[in-house]
Chains A and B, each alone.
Chain A
Amino acid sequence: MYSASDLRKGLKISIDGEPYIITDFSFSKPGKGQALYRCRIRNMITGNASDRTYRSNDKFEKAPLEERTMQFLYEQGGEYHFMDNKTYEQIALNEEQMGDTTSFLMDNMDVEVLLFSDRPIGVTPPTFVELTVTKADPWVKGDTSGSDTKPVTVETGFVLQVPPFIEEGEKIQIDTRTGEYVTRVKS
């Protein structure tokens, strides 16, 4: 149980049975008036943001969240199936719950699955993944266009900007937090 004075940016609380994260927080108190705890909160399932103002006597439940390491098995009909490496328990997430993670997902990859009351609500891929370039325009020596990057497609279908010397069939490292190119992986 949290009280209003525990509220701060990044705290995860449960409201009406749903998990919320506080994305912005400010304390205000008009002269002689009540302390007000103004929060911008985001529903961790739907992503919807809203503003709430709380008073000092308000109490909050901690959001029952748990992260478990799981292995990606396969995708079928928009359902992504994962297995807990310790208990062999299997779960499935839909496209919406997966979010941008599908851009980086490979068979057998270990990911962190976020569970709310044992219900999967999100997936975090490894910070860095190595993916093979499946489509790239050839590097034209003496290109005078002045551009220092070009778009390529990797095996998951994800498109990103890379240096011009990257060619089809090469492996590159990508930062999944930003979706940006990090380095070429020597095979």
Chain B
Amino acid sequence: MVSARTLRQRAALFQAIRTFFTDRGYLEVDTPVRIPAPAPEAYIEPEPAGDWFLQTSPELCMKRLLAAGIPQIFQLCKCFRRHERGGRHLPEFTMLEWYQAKADYSDLMAECEQLLPFVATQLGYGDEVVTERGLVSLAGPWQRLTVAEAFDRFGSMPLADALAGDCFDEVLVRDIEPQLGVGTPAFLCDYPASLGSLARLKPDNPAVAERFELYVGGVELANGFSELSDAVEQRRRFESEQRLIGALGRTPAPMPESFLAELPAMGGAAGIALGVDRLLMLLLGANSIDQVVPFTPESLS
């Protein structure tokens, strides 16, 4: 059972996040958890709930709010992903997502650099956190390196070979992730275009997507990108993900038609999802996600 102190820190973290975004003019929203058509993503498996699904992320509903003309929104909510269970994974977890119209992924990185020191201070910590990979200073600016650079520097093979050999994830997890966010947090940027299904391609280099992941002490904390607002291209990518889901032996969920219909109205925007349980792990120095939630699924049955 989690301690009363941890529950108080958890509540203080929610409070600090709300203060941070409210002070910056963001509107807190709460979109439905049960939805008919989650974004088709090959390696994220939604939990069925009747004929619909529990959200794997509030992304599509939040983009529809952007399209409706609300320029800055954030949400703290539960997300559900089947079969994800480990030291840093729960099949039901708490997500923070925020979206900003007319912004791109570098604006989000700058906001991350301000958010983490703010919440750490609000919870009574300094701007240093203790991780499994040693002390990490949250004082900016943080490291930025591209996926290609990270493979060159830390990988057992270059990025092109990993993609050709179908072992991108293996090399990333084994060789690269433990080296990211050591000493200072790191943004891993510019993913191969095929690995950013909802991200905009870089205008001057369409081989890469404007997507980044934030790492602190070797732990992945957030995933953000400049949003793709081209509905035709988005449908094409969703269809490709649906084919992959079928090839993996699962039945794809229906195409999110209402989202695709409203997407062109969104215009340029950037959005990010951050694992709140992992952020609390980081602040408390916990080495398992089990230590920072009131109940694990196993403790319920």
> Do most interface residues of chain A lie in helix, strand or loop, or is the interface mixed?
loop
Query: Are A53 and B43 closer than 8 Å at their CB atoms?
Result: no
Bin chain A's interface residue count: 10 to 19
Q: Given known contacts A31-B223, A32-B41, A33-B43, is B83 in contact with A53 (CB within 8 Å)?
A: no
A53 to B175, CA, bound (A): 13
Asked whether A117 is an interface residue with its Cβ less than 8 Å from the other chain, the reply is no
List, in ascending order, chain A residues with CB within 8 A of B236's CB.
none
Measured CB to CB, the closest approach of chain B to A1, in angstroms, equals: 15
CB distance from A4 to the nearest CB of B (A): 9
A27-B89, A29-B89 known; A35-B83 Cβ under 8 A: yes
On whether the beta carbons of B41 and A30 are closer than 8 Å, the reply is: no
Cβ of A144 under 8 Å from chain B: no
Could you list 26 A-B pairs, sorted by A, with CB under 8 Å? A5-B83, A27-B85, A28-B86, A28-B88, A28-B173, A29-B43, A29-B84, A29-B86, A29-B89, A30-B169, A30-B213, A31-B223, A32-B43, A32-B196, A32-B223, A33-B168, A33-B172, A33-B173, A33-B195, A34-B169, A36-B169, A36-B170, A36-B173, A53-B170, A53-B174, A57-B248
Task: Kindly supply a per-residue 1/0 record for chain A positions 50-75, scoring 1 wherever the CB is within 8 Å of any chain B CB and 0 otherwise.
Answer: 00010011000000000000000000
Whether, in the assembled complex, B35 has its beta carbon less than 8 Å from a beta carbon of chain A, the answer is: no
- A26 contacts the other chain (Cβ, under 8 Å)? yes
Q: Are B83 and A31 in contact (CB under 8 A)?
A: no
Give the interface of B toward A (CB within 8 A).
41, 43-44, 83-89, 168-170, 172-174, 177, 195-197, 213, 220, 223, 248-249
Counting CB contacts under 8 A, is A38 at the interface?
yes
Q: Are A35 and B220 in contact (CB under 8 A)?
A: no
Chain A residues near B197 (CB-CB < 8 A): 32
A35 touches B170 (CB 8 A): no
User: With A and B bound together, what is the CA distance between A34 and B87 in angstroms?
Assistant: 16
Closest-CB distance, B170 to chain A (whole angstroms): 5
**Complex CA–CA separation, A38 to B248 (angstroms):** 20
Question: Given that A35-B84, A36-B170, A57-B248 are contacting pairs, would A30 and B177 also be in contact in the complex, using a CB cutoff of 8 Å?
Answer: yes
- State the Cβ distance, B119 to closest chain A Cβ, in Å: 21
B contact residues around A34 at 8 Å (CB):
43, 169
- Which residues of A sit under 8 angstroms from B168, Cβ to Cβ? 33
CB distance from A24 to the nearest CB of B (A): 12
Contacts of B174 in A (CB 8 A): 38, 53
Closest Cβ–Cβ distance, residue A35 to chain B (whole Å)? 7
Q: How far is the CA of A114 from the CA of B232 in the complex (A)?
A: 62
Q: Report how far A38 CA is from B86 CA in the complex, Å.
A: 11
User: A30–B88 Cα gap in the complex (Å)?
Assistant: 11
**Whole-angstrom distance between the alpha carbons of A27 and B169 in the complex?**
13
In the bound assembly, the distance between CA atoms of A26 and B218 in angstroms comes to: 15
* Contact assessment for A31 and B220 in the assembled complex, using a CB-CB cutoff below 8 Å: yes
Q: Which of A7-54 contact B (CB under 8 A)?
A: 26-36, 38, 53
B213 to chain A minimum Cβ distance, whole angstroms, is: 5
